Amino acid sequence: MQTENTKGLANYILIFGFLIVVTLPMVFTLIHKQEDISSREKRKLAPLPAFSFDEFWDGAYQQKFSQFYQDHFGFRQKILSGAREFRRGAWNKSLSRNVIYGDDEWMYFNIDGTLHDYTGYYTQNSQDSSLWLQGLDIKNRWLAQLGVRYLLVPIPGKMNVYPEHLPARVRDAAGESRLQAFRAELKDSDLEDVVLDLLPTLRKVKNETQVYFKTDTHWNEDGAFIVYQAIMDKLSHWFDDIEPVTPNMIDRGSRMKMGDIAIADGAKAGEMEQTDTLTINNRCANEQSTKVAEFTKTPAYQANPKHLPRANGCTSKKIRALVVNDSFGAYIRKFLSDSFEEVIFMHYYELFDMKSFIEEFDPDVFIDLRAERRFHYLLGTDERMQSELETGKY
Amino acid sequence: MLYCISVSWLFGLLLDNAKNQATKLRRLWFAISLLIAPLFVYKYLNFVTDNLNLILGDNELDISTLHLPIGISFFTFQALSYLVDVYRSPGTAQRSVLNLGLYISLFPQLIAGPIVRYHEISRQLIERVTSKSLFASGVERFIYGLAKKVLIANPLGQIADIAFSLPADSLGVTAAWIGITCYALQIYFDFSGYSDMAIGLGRMFGFKFSENFNYPYVSRSIREFWRRWHISLSTWFRDYVYIPLGGNRTAGWRVTRNLLIVFVLCGFWHGASWNFLIWGLLHGVFLALERSSFGRLLDAIPAFFQHCYVLIVVLVGWVFFRSTDLNQSLDYLSQLVQISKSFTVSPAIAIEMDAQFWFAITVGCFFSLPIFQKTSHWIQSNVLASSSTNMNTMIAIGKSTMLLILIFPIVFEIASGAYNPFIYFRF
């Protein structure tokens, strides 16, 4: 009798515990006010779909409802926080499939096939790097016809700069990345001078100065300044009037930052990284760059109106530069602004579509800052440029 | 499903009211064809027209893609089981369309089995016992099933998916074996996990469903494998196809024929593709071989080699089962025997072999063997039987608590699928 009672107690614990786990999130979903945006995931959450028989019969309603429930089930934020802690503790694995935990709190982002590239998947599977030189050559000659020097600056990915913090299983799987294949092709070619290879520089200085954030995809301000110096050094071989920002013109401070990888990982507000800030003493350029309204007339802007180029510069300087950059441009722009008479920063556009704008702006140099995971996109051959070069009609 | 229920109910009554055996048989065949027709249209018509187009060399037969009703193979087989059971046992037809509807649409096992047979469950449809201890035992079984699916099958499935999506040249021998081993464990823990959940849910509502898996990977012959793997399907085919064909009580070649027919049908039951047919045929051929002198040779070799034989046949079979087409199957099989190549694990697989993978494969291997089951039985009969009531109380409460704790990692893993950060927010 007593055994039955004690077994009964164990049964009650199991039954009630199970029913609570199964029903509580559902009940909470019904009574809780739905959020529209997830600050943790940086996206709009799926709304409750309106019922329609048409959508019900073709399955679209069920799909939308499933998305809604995934985004709004009861205690979602708390469960996701628990899931993050569990996965981190049990598997050293992030909640996000795109985030890779390294050692010593280093994090890596696996987007746009970064990991595949790191392991050499693309170079092994018919990615013809020899064609890249052809594309680069055409671009270089086309810009030269416009009187512009071309400088390609592929930005090494964090995995290539700091492979030592990657998990061993990833580090051991390293292969020839697209950038490495490109560097091999470039070696001893006529185009070597057009490309600034940052990898040796960054790897050399990283033991003295941390050049990339631990919890962000990008270089930190120190990294940006080192890259800036490398660019200026390169340009000083091409132009006599280069006057770069020097280390003694820099003031150091510090701040806390939550990196983009930490955000994608679902990090809490307190999980921030301390980083140095670099400020230029007595800046000659403006604090804020100004929008370049003239660019709205170009086909390049019509095709991609999201980002309007921005201009800055120092009237005391001589060289004019056009800089194409992605999110890596964030910390380097202030140094570049202080180094040119006028500099325009812009996001990626079809170069050929910018022809009239380039002619009007008349830069001395075109600097193409491109993240490693995307640099191969710009090495395709533009047939319109090729045709102009072949026919001699510009 | 409503059609299936209506046809089964109506023809069940007609079978019971048939005046003679010939009428009864005619009605049975007519009802079977009515039940098979939707299964054929939804599941096999595309396959048939695709192959006819291939043979005829044109694309004149164009059937727009039909959405496969969920669980159609399972509920059609349950309906067939009902009609054959009524045919065999007069007076057993279900008068209540609701009770028959409950049998065919029984939600716990509707999607992934086990296939419930009418004669096993007919009494439970009317009178079944529900109790606190049965409900708790159902919860326990459900949690085990969900844990198998979420904590073991899903992570291993990710590795198997990568292995089967890589170009053959990028795979290599080691990754190919890792991939197929992961798939073998994935399909076992996925399927048996669903069966456990169905059995558990059934128990909560007072139904007792038969077991569907019994450690199939410890088998020493393919014959034994099929007594342990998807038991409800193999016994369904045995009772409703193999035995009516004559079973093994006929001349030797007829037994072989019957086995091949049953396993070709079994292959097709899983899906409409040549790969499933070959998978079924492979098992049928080895079952037939085991009835010949090869079987006697097999009985004579040490148990270790018998296990190896079964695992190799089953793994090769899974290659056909998992691949999307014959070319992929052959490419994958060629990688499994590519011993001249490097034994380095393909990078695409190596980078995924994290702590979760090692946990899943270790626990998966452990629980695919009956070690835990035997140990807990031993503890039950040798330790707990003679323990004090207090000790038993503590253990029972401890077990319930552990099961509830096990729900947390399961929930976390399920919830992680809902986490979907927008990765380009910076840009």
Complex ipTM, two decimals?
0.81
Average pLDDT over residues B142-159: 95
The answer for residues whose C-beta is within 8 angstroms of residue A387's C-beta and 6 or more apart is: none
Last residue of a domain, one of A42, A66, A92: A92
Cα–Cα dist A187/A183, whole Å: 6
Tokens 């609570």 belong to residue: A20
Q: How far is B405 from chain A (nearest CA, A)?
A: 10
Query: Hey, are the CB atoms on B419 and A109 less than 8 Å from each other?
Result: no
A151 DSSP assignment: E
Task: Using CB atoms, pick whichever of B396, B411, B423 lies closest to residue A264.
Answer: B423
Cα–Cα dist B320/B333, whole Å: 9
Name residue B298's beta-bridge partners: none
Is residue B225's pLDDT more than 90?
yes
Residue A199 pLDDT: 93
Which band of pLDDT confidence, cut at 50, 70 and 90, is reported for residue B61?
low
Which residue positions in chain A have pLDDT lower than 70? Answer: 1-6, 125-130, 378, 393-394
Q: Is B99 helix (H, G, I), strand (E, B) or coil?
A: helix
Is residue B90's pLDDT more than 80?
no
Q: What is the largest CA-CA distance in chain A?
A: 102
Q: Are residues A238 and A176 in the same domain?
A: yes
Residue A168 pLDDT: 92
Residue A128 pLDDT: 66
pLDDT (tens digit per residue) in A146-195: 999 999 999 999 999 999 999 999 999 888 888 888 888 888 788 889 99
Query: Hey, are the CB atoms on B400 and A116 less than 8 Å from each other?
Result: no
Q: Are residues A60 and A112 in the same domain?
A: no
Is residue B60's pLDDT more than 70?
no
Average pLDDT over residues B53-81: 77
Please check whether residue A200 lies inside any domain of the structure. yes
Name residue A155's beta-bridge partners: A371
Nearest to A214 by CA among A267, A280, A171, A170: A267
The answer for residues whose C-beta is within 8 angstroms of residue B351's C-beta and 6 or more apart is: A115, A119, A169, A170, A173
Name residue A212's beta-bridge partners: A219
Query: Hey, are the CB atoms on B359 and A169 less than 8 Å from each other?
Result: no
Name residue A367's beta-bridge partners: A151, A323
Query: Hey, are the CB atoms on B415 and A79 less than 8 Å from each other?
Result: yes
Q: How far is B203 from chain A (nearest CA, A)?
A: 13
pLDDT (tens digit per residue) in B323-364: 989 999 999 999 888 876 667 788 888 889 999 999 999 999
Q: Considering only residues B148 and B123, tell me which one the structure prediction assigns the higher pLDDT.
A: B148
Residues A153/A136, Cβ–Cβ less than 8 Å: no
Is residue B427's pLDDT more than 50?
no
Q: Are residues A230 and A368 in the same domain?
A: yes
Which 201-220 residues of chain A touch chain B by CB within 8 A?
A: 217
Average pLDDT over residues B312-322: 95
Which band of pLDDT confidence, cut at 50, 70 and 90, is reported for residue B64?
low
Cα–Cα dist B31/B10, whole Å: 9
Last residue of a domain, one of A54, A69, A92: A92
Query: Hey, are the CB atoms on B393 and A125 less than 8 Å from each other?
Result: no
A281: left (phi > 0), else alpha (psi -120 to 50), else beta? beta
CA contacts within 13 A on the Cβ side of B376: 6
Mutate to test the interface with A, among B150, B407, B426 (most CBs of A within 10 A): B426
Task: Using CB atoms, pick whichever of B396, B419, B420 lies closest to residue A10.
Answer: B396
Average pLDDT over residues B158-168: 91
Q: Are residues A215 and A300 in the same domain?
A: yes
Please check whether residue A98 lies inside any domain of the structure. no
Q: Is the dihedral of CA A381, A383, A388, A389 positive or negative?
A: positive
Q: Is the peptide bond before A49 cis (omega within 30 degrees of 0)?
A: no
Residues from chain A contacting residue B411 (CB–CB below 8 Å): 21, 79, 82-83
β-strands A342-346, A310-312: how paired? antiparallel
CB-CB neighbours of A96 under 10 Å: 22
Residue A126 pLDDT: 58
Residues A65/B413, Cβ–Cβ less than 8 Å: no
Tokens 């039985």 belong to residue: B377
Please check whether residue A97 lies inside any domain of the structure. no
- Contact of B422 with chain A, judged by CB distance below 8 Å, is answered with yes
Residue A90 pLDDT: 93
End-to-end CA distance of chain B: 50
Q: How far is CA B115 from CA A146, A278, B198, B279, in A?
A: 75, 69, 10, 20
pLDDT (tens digit per residue) in B244-301: 888 777 777 888 888 999 999 999 888 888 999 999 999 999 999 998 889 889 989 9
Tokens 């913090």 belong to residue: A165
Q: What is the mean pLDDT of chain B?
A: 88
Cα radius of gyration rounded to whole Å, chain B:
24
Active site residue B230: no
Nearest to A241 by CA among A339, A144, A332: A339
CB-CB neighbours of B419 under 10 Å: 23
Query: Hey, are the CB atoms on A121 and B422 less than 8 Å from each other?
Result: no
The answer for residues whose C-beta is within 8 angstroms of residue B399's C-beta and 6 or more apart is: A10
Task: Using CB atoms, pick whichever of B136, B350, B419 lies closest to residue A14.
Answer: B136
Tokens 């049998």 belong to residue: B103
Nearest to A133 by CA among A176, A181, A197, A196: A181
Cα–Cα dist B178/B345, whole Å: 9
Q: Are residues A190 and A146 in the same domain?
A: yes
Please check whether residue A99 lies inside any domain of the structure. no
Average pLDDT over residues B204-217: 92
CB-CB neighbours of A379 under 10 Å: 20
Average pLDDT over residues B4-14: 92
Task: Return the structure tokens found at B197.
Answer: 């959940």
Query: Hey, are the CB atoms on A83 and B425 less than 8 Å from each other?
Result: no
Residue A220 pLDDT: 95
Cα–Cα dist B311/B183, whole Å: 13
Q: Are residues A273 and A360 in the same domain?
A: yes
Alpha helices in B57-96 (DSSP H): 72-88
Q: How far is CA A348 from CA A255, A264, A300, B99, B124, in A?
A: 30, 24, 9, 66, 69
Task: Using CB atoms, pick whichever of A11, A111, A169 lies closest to residue B351.
Answer: A169
Residues A243/A339, Cβ–Cβ less than 8 Å: yes
- Contact of A73 with chain B, judged by CB distance below 8 Å, is answered with yes
- Contact of A172 with chain B, judged by CB distance below 8 Å, is answered with yes
Mutate to test the interface with A, among B423, B424, B425, B427 (most CBs of A within 10 A): B423
Cα–Cα dist B215/B369, whole Å: 6
Task: Return the structure tokens found at B49.
Answer: 């027209």
Q: How far is B11 from chain A (nearest CA, A)?
A: 29
Q: Are residues A220 and A283 in the same domain?
A: yes
Cα–Cα dist B166/B179, whole Å: 11
| Residue span of the structural domain in which A60 resides | 2-92
Q: Are residues A72 and A22 in the same domain?
A: yes
Q: Is A310 helix (H, G, I), strand (E, B) or coil?
A: strand
Q: Are residues A344 and A279 in the same domain?
A: yes
Number of H helices, E strands in chain B: 21, 0
Q: Are residues A79 and A215 in the same domain?
A: no
Q: Are residues A143 and A206 in the same domain?
A: yes
Domain count, chain A: 2
Query: Hey, are the CB atoms on A14 and B400 less than 8 Å from each other?
Result: yes
Last residue of a domain, one of A61, A92, A123: A92
Residues from chain B contacting residue A17 (CB–CB below 8 Å): 400, 404, 407
Query: Hey, are the CB atoms on A266 and B421 less than 8 Å from each other?
Result: yes
Q: Are residues A209 and A318 in the same domain?
A: yes
